[in-house]
Amino acid sequence: MDGRYDVALGTNTFGPFNVINFATRCVKVNMLLHVSTAYVCGEREGLLSEKSFYMGETLKGTTKLNVYAEKKIVEENLKQLNAQNATEKTITSTLKDLGMKRAKIHGWPNTYSFTKAMGEMVLGECRENMSLIIIRPPGISSTYKEPFPGWIEGLR
């Protein structure tokens, strides 16, 4: 099950935005390595070429994506829910549904892959002259040995 859209957007999209803004101001930093996910390509079959997303690109190709408008949509929904004195359960459910709806509008299967793709877009747009490497592993799990067995435990 996907998480809340506001949380995923903050972590997967605007987290990288904050990192790249910091990194571009560091005199000795000339390269950034970002870990994304293989699932940003959506649910397609066959051999897929690795290419960077440009700002506003969608998997459907028929819609134009605005990362900052997505943030505004979340803020407006939260404001409305708070004005209605919605319960935390209602807020969570509504924001989970909103994330899935927004992802599907633009061609992604879920909130996670959608917000990770937007994070890649933001990095590409804001990197200035910094070298940027984006890796897209299909999954990340716990370690075998270092710093201790099972570190970063968890299943998706």
DSSP sequence for 62-83:
SS---HHHHHHHHHHHHHHHHH
- DSSP one-letter code for 150: T
Q: At what angle do helices 67-83 and 88-105 cross, to 10 degrees?
A: 150
Please list the active-site residues: 112, 116
Give the C-alpha distances (Å, rounded to integers) separating 48 from 39, 40, 56.
11, 11, 20
- What are residue 6's phi and psi, to 5 degrees? -65, -40
- 123, exposed or middle or buried, with CB in 10 Å at 0-12, 13-18, 19+? buried
